[in-house]
């Protein structure tokens, strides 16, 4: 067989490349398109990362040097890429955190969240950006790297500052308004005190002279009138006597109101000098019951004593606490037609709990919240009971609160009411 002279001898290297798949045709058909696709995917992924509104850093966890960055890093920091390549990450942090920068790259948990700020490289005037960063440590080719995502929270900080400023301004206005209200309240209290004092003196004279006139008429004038006289004259005599009785009765009621107003004004102005001493509960409960017993005579109401024996002492003003008990018993008498009024005292934890329970007409639920307001009564009292001033319960409330206690009411219309107050037990001597 003839050998063709124009055929070159076979190349052993080319033959070897064909065998392992690295020939030109093999490369163009297999490896290069695959590599090209991977590179295109990486470019697209990188382009997507650069559109993210957060700044993303990859940092060498051992050296703290920035390896790579993407997202809105350059826009957030206001610098060029050459400012960040090879820069230590702690150079972006404020001094008080930069000192511990090496510690944050040695976290044992999976992620770390920090609210701080970034200093802008190359910026003048100490410009900084408040950020919230999330740091996560990953292992890559036996190298520890920190992936850090930073979010610009400037808008949130501005809103927080605006809210804080608004809150501070509101707090200032509230304090000013409170001072104005305190001044107005003091002025009101002083006015009531002055007016009450000025009213009490002439009122005492009115009541005194009304009683003197009634006594003179009954003892001297009326007996001298001929009872066989004109019936109209006798009718007028009866009317005059009744009118004088009304003057005296209403005068005494007004005196009671003035005394209550003065009492409450002093309590609210902290001008009451309490004579505090160690007391057993029976030291003020029993005298209060004795002083109120006349209210229950000639009635169908039983006054019951269920005070537990051996109760510990409290610290209080005996006369003022008796005043509370008298007010509560008086209130119960006005609103109870028959049944019972029961006083109980028990030890509950570190407090003495005292209650006055009646079987009267009760208080509607919508009125119970206002029952301790000034000049407020839960119901009209029974027809044959004297009307109150509406200041008894507010006075009780003030006295109990001044004794570091609490007072409240529990009531069911038609079944009765229970007024309860607590007083702290006196510390051991």
pLDDT digits 0-9 by tens, 69-118: 888 888 888 888 888 888 888 888 887 777 777 777 877 667 788 888 88
Domain of 338 in residue numbering reads as 276-424
Looking at the structure, tell me whether residues 131 and 185 fall in a common domain: no
Residue 364 gets the label, from left (phi > 0), alpha (psi -120 to 50) or beta, of beta
Of 208, 242, 268, the residue that ends a domain is: 268
7 part of a folded domain = no
User: How many structural domains is the chain composed of?
Assistant: 4
Looking at the structure, tell me whether residues 108 and 143 fall in a common domain: yes
The pTM (predicted TM-score) of the whole model is 0.50
Please answer whether residues 131 and 118 qualify as being in contact, where contact means their C-beta atoms are separated by less than 8 angstroms. yes
Looking at the structure, tell me whether residues 131 and 214 fall in a common domain: no
What are the residue ranges in the chain where pLDDT is below 70?
A: 1-51, 108-109, 122-126, 192-193, 196-197, 226-229, 268-271, 375-390
429 part of a folded domain = no
Q: What is the pLDDT of residue 123?
A: 56
End-to-end CA gap in the chain: 134
Burial class (CB in 10 A: 0-12, 13-18, 19+), 337: middle
User: In sequence order, what E strands does 37-191 have?
Assistant: 55-60, 66-71, 111-119, 128-140, 143-152
- Eight-class DSSP state of 107: -
The CATH number for 102's domain is 3.30.450.20
Q: What is the pLDDT of residue 94?
A: 83
């Amino acid at each position: 067989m003839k050998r063709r002279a124009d055929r070159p001898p076979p190349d052993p290297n080319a033959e070897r490349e064909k065998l392992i798949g690295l020939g030109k045709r093999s490369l163009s058909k297999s490896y290069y398109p695959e590599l090209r696709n991977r590179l295109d995917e990486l470019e697209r992924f990188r382009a997507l990362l650069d559109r993210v509104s957060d700044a993303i850093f990859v940092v060498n966890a051992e050296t703290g040097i920035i390896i790579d960055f993407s997202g809105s890093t350059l826009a957030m920091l206001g610098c060029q890429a050459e400012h960040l390549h090879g820069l230590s990450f702690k150079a972006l942090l404020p001094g008080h955190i930069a000192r511990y920068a090496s510690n944050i790259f040695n976290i044992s948990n999976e992620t770390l969240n920090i609210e701080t700020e970034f200093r802008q490289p190359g910026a003048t005037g100490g410009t900084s950006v408040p950020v919230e960063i999330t740091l996560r440590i990953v292992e890559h080719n036996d190298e520890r790297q920190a992936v850090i995502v930073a979010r610009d929270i400037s808008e949130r900080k501005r809103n927080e500052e605006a809210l804080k400023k608004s809150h501070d301004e509101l707090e200032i206005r509230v304090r000013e308004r409170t001072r104005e209200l305190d001044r107005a309240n003091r002025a009101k209290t002083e006015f009531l005190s002055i007016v009450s004092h000025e009213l009490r003196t002439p009122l005492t004279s009115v009541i005194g002279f009304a009683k003197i006139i009634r006594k003179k008429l009954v003892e001297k004038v009326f007996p001298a009138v001929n009872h066989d006289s004109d019936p109209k004259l006798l009718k007028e005599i009866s009317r005059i006597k009744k009118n004088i009785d009304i003057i005296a009765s209403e005068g005494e009621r007004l005196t009671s109101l003035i005394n209550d107003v003065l009492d409450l004004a002093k309590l609210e102005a902290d001008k009451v000098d309490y004579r505090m001493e160690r007391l057993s509960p029976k030291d003020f409960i029993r005298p209060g019951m004795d002083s109120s017993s006349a209210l229950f005579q000639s009635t169908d109401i039983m006054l019951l004593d269920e005070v537990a024996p051996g109760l510990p002492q409290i610290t209080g003003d005996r006369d003022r606490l008796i005043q509370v008990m008298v007010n509560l018993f008086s209130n119960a008498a006005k609103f109870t037609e028959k049944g019972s009024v029961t006083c109980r005292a028990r030890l509950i934890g570190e407090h003495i709990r005292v209650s006055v329970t009646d079987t009267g007409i009760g208080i509607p639920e919508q009125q119970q919240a206002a029952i301790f307001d000034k000049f407020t009564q839960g119901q009209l009292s029974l027809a044959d009971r004297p009307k109150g001033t509406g200041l008894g319960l507010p006075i009780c409330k003030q006295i109990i609160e001044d004794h570091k206690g609490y007072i409240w009411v529990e009531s069911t219309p038609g079944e009765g009411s229970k007024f309860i107050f607590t007083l702290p037990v006196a510390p051991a001597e």
